[in-house]
Amino acid sequence: MLTCMRRPYLLLLLPILPACQQPACIDDIPAPFNVIEVSTSVYQPAPGTPYMASEEAACRMWSLDKQQVASLFQLSTRLSEGQLHDYDWLPCSIKGQAQAEGMVWEFEINAAATSIWRSGDETRLMGCAQATCAPLVILMMPGRQGD
């Protein structure tokens, strides 16, 4: 694994590292994976936050099909708890199920380009900071909208 190498010849690999930014190199979403079910979007303001009709309307208009969900996941990378806080949060989400690694995962996609995967005791936080995710969500990570 490249991250474990501590050798000077690592510099020779720098020209090929940009290729690993492509979804095919990302190990975060296990292949193959299959999106089983996708629900409609749900508007749910945080406790103590006022209801906003404009937010609810935008949420109601947001939808993803199975193929779009799969695309969003393929473009996403795994996040640490600290990295999750770099993203915005919206009171709008889409839930569903996917099958990967021989397990069924419950997922929840926030309209601000993050998702949470849960299966048994395991939880994975995912986020998409790539401009190609913009058509799939309502709000991108700050500074990434339509890059």
* Structure confidence at residue 133 (pLDDT): 94
* Structure confidence at residue 28 (pLDDT): 58
Contacts 24+ apart (CB under 8 A), 104-107: 104/36, 107/69, 107/73
Residue pLDDT, tens place only, 76-132: 999 988 888 889 999 999 999 999 889 999 999 999 999 999 999 999 999 999 999
Q: Distance between CA atoms of 139 and 133, rounded to whole angstroms? A: 10
The answer on pLDDT for 3 being more than 50 is: no
Please, what is the average pLDDT of the chain? 81
Strand, helix or coil for residue 96: strand
